A and B are shown apart, each in its own frame.
Chain A
Amino acid sequence: EVQLVQSGAEVKKPGESLKISCRGSGYRFSNYWIGWVRQTPGKGLEWMGGIFPYDSDTRYSPSFEGQITISADKSSNTAFLQWSTLKASDSAMYYCARRSLDYSPLDYWGQGTLVAVSS
């Protein structure tokens, strides 16, 4: 059974750093893209970027490039989303999701990681 399991909720202060994770199981992790999607009440779903763990090919949405870093560790079947300097506006639910090829949809999703950034 394909599963994506994300790390737990986080409460952080502005200016702090954060790295959240997404562990895949039940499939060949290296051969599927992992994408990250932000969800906020005001802006709905936003595609942030993704990584192909096999060769670490990484693509970012222009809206998020420079603000986040996406990485993956093939040995642990885990993808990561990190911030070096959090802002209050980063408060959101973050989902990871799998897709197979270019033009393919997000077919399996993690359960989401809630990030709250507040002083």
Chain B
Amino acid sequence: DIQLTQSPSFLSASVGDRVTITCRASQGISSYLAWYQQKPGKAPKLLIYAASTLQSGVPSRFSGTGSGTEFTLRISSLQPEDSATYYCQQLNSNPHTFGQGTKLEIK
């Protein structure tokens, strides 16, 4: 299985900050990576796919970069509603593994 390692596991930042979450794959996955946001008690929501394509309706402050084994999710100007857990998922090969998650807290 391809392992995805997210860092950090926990992040605390203030409104207006720029934050970066990293996802590293144990082997190359081209650009077949998605990012999801999950709020407590809710299903995950797709933010970004193909490493850098913003899903329709997602605010432009979210962006994704990377290919191969290293990927990043950036939030350019943190908003209170961005408090959530963020997951990456690789779609290159079965099983479509997820990262362990990054919990983002707003100070």
Contact = CB atoms under 8 A, between A and B. Distances in A.
A47 B98 contact: yes
B61 interface: no
A59 interface: yes
A104 B91 contact: yes
Interface residues of A, number: 24
Contacts, number: 60
Interface string B19-57: 000000000000010101000000111100100000100
Interface residues of B, number: 22
B96 A45 contact: no
A102 B96 CA distance: 11
B96 to A, nearest CB: 4
Nearest to A48: B95
A109 B96 contact: no
Contacts of B32: 103
Contact of B87 (A44, A99, A107, A109): A44
A107 B58 CA distance: 12
Given A44-B100, A44-B101, A45-B101, A103 B91 contact: yes
7 contacts: A37-B44, A44-B98, A45-B44, A47-B89, A97-B44, A99-B91, A111-B43
8 closest residue pairs by CB, A with B: A61-B95, A105-B34, A109-B43, A105-B49, A45-B98, A47-B96, A103-B32, A103-B91
